[in-house]
Amino acid sequence: MAARAQSTPIKIGVLTDETGPYADSGGPGSILAAQMAAADFGGQVLGRPIEIVHADHQNKPDIAASIAHSWYEHEGVQAITDLPVTAIGLVVQQIARERTKTALITAAATSDITNKFCTPTVTHWADDTHALTAGTAKAVIENGGKTWFFITVDHAFGRALQDETTKVVEAAGGRVLGAVRHPIGETDFSSLLLTAQSSGAQVIGLASVGGDLINAIKQASEFGIQRTGVTLATFLQFITDIHALGLPTTQGLTFTASFYWDQNDTSRAWAKRFIAARKLMPTKNHAAITTSVTHFLKAMAQAGTDDALAVNKAMKAMPLSYFGCPATIRADGRVLYDLTLYRVKTPAESTGAWDYYTALRPIPSAEAFLPLNVAACGT
């Protein structure tokens, strides 16, 4: 019996969008990022092999819930990571709570994950909706963008991002003139862009992500909207989006991010290995997966057990390095780190492939993230 327990693998599940609009920011790259973390850790923990499993949730919460139930209950998965789309992140968080299992949420971005629904065995590694708006919206407003119109993906993430940005805009004396919504997988943004432009807003906020955001930016460029003096504001931006669109289309976009492959020697060395295997640079989601899986494995070794409560307690107590940048995990599961406000370079500024970002200023964690909600999550 003891020998069988020693040979039982520690399974980590990557539940992602493998073929849909978030496949480049997550997808196969997320699987690779988890595999790299396991390999770098030595391939085993507590004397047991580490196994990375994965599945495609197809951006459907019911499918994600079914997979998570099966993984946790029948297949021996100790932790699930990635989880793009807010509704999926929240449903897996609830299952993790019910089963006392670990979830390492690196893609779903709503701040509600820790601000309202904090769970002892769930940690939130993504730049959340509050952090994403803290830098970008303030920067745009400081440059004179006082009136806004939103084009928003019609799910919980998009609505949360619009709401968070609206608070920042109104607190700074600005106004939101209106909003239109679109489903995941929208391909024709023409009528939405024309509605936004006709509102007279100085800023069109694109509260979308992945393939939807790429399509919206591309079509806005084709319509020449930015040439009319209107600012496009984006929030959850991935380097793969910039790569797909090209610098002539994306130059000047300003956004907030926790990771850029060229930020320091540690990130550059890891990204070199990643791109050799994937042929694309890692996104901040991929970086968060490698970091979270590594920290989870370190905590398991430190705790000397695979018990989820003990492991997550150790995760919060242990020091954490996010590619050379210090970070901590708060009692509610929110991972705290400084972010950076970036601007996309012009073609003339770029010195080569994937040299896309210019750092404008740091955004301290205290400014980026909401304070602990004591009423909901305790101290």
Q: What is 220-256 written as a DSSP string?
A: HHHTTTGGGTPEEEESS--HHHHHHH-HHHHTT-EEE
13-17, 250-254, 361-365, 366-370 — which one is most confidently predicted on average?
Answer: 13-17
- Give the containing element (helix H, strand E) for 342: strand 339-344
Q: What percent of the chain has pLDDT over 90?
A: 84
Tens digit of each residue's pLDDT (9 = 90 or more) over 276-306 = 999 999 999 999 999 999 999 999 999 999 9
Query: 3-state DSSP call for residue 267?
Result: helix
User: What pLDDT shows up at residue 287?
Assistant: 98
Q: Are 136 and 233 in contact (CB under 8 A)?
A: yes
pLDDT of residue 134: 82
What separation in angstroms does the CA of 280 have from each of 23, 32, 261? 12, 11, 11
Q: pLDDT grade, residue 6 (50/70/90)?
A: low
In angstroms, the Cα distances linking 16 to 63, 194, 336 are: 11, 33, 23
Supply the pLDDT for residue 1: 40
pTM of the model: 0.92
Contact between residue 168 and residue 235 where contact means Cβ atoms under 8 Å apart: no
For residues 210-231, average pLDDT = 91
Q: Which residues pair with 45 in a beta bridge?
A: 48
| Three-state DSSP state, 10 | strand
135 against 130, higher pLDDT: 130
Picking from 2-6, 57-61, 134-138, 262-266, which range would have the lowest pLDDT averaged per residue? 2-6
pLDDT over 70, % of the chain: 98
| 3-state per-residue secondary structure call for 303-339 | HCCCCHHHHHHHHHHCCEEECCEEEEECCCCEEECCE
Model confidence pLDDT, tens digit, residues 311-357: 999 999 999 999 999 999 999 999 999 999 999 999 999 999 999 99
Question: What does the pLDDT read at residue 81?
Answer: 98
Confidence of residue 5 (pLDDT cuts 50, 70, 90): low
Residue 244 CA to its chain's centroid (Å): 18
Measured between alpha carbons, how far is 15 from 83 in angstroms, rounded to an integer?
6
Mean pLDDT for 114-130 is: 96
The band of 2, judged by pLDDT with boundaries at 50, 70 and 90, is very low
221-235 average pLDDT score? 90
Query: What does the mean pLDDT of the chain come to?
Result: 94
What does the alpha-carbon distance between residue 268 and residue 259 come to, in Å, rounded to a whole number? 11
Check whether 34 has a pLDDT greater than 90.
Answer: yes
Domains, the chain, ranges and CATH?
2-127+263-337 (3.40.50.2300), 130-257+339-368 (3.40.50.2300)
pLDDT number for residue 379: 62
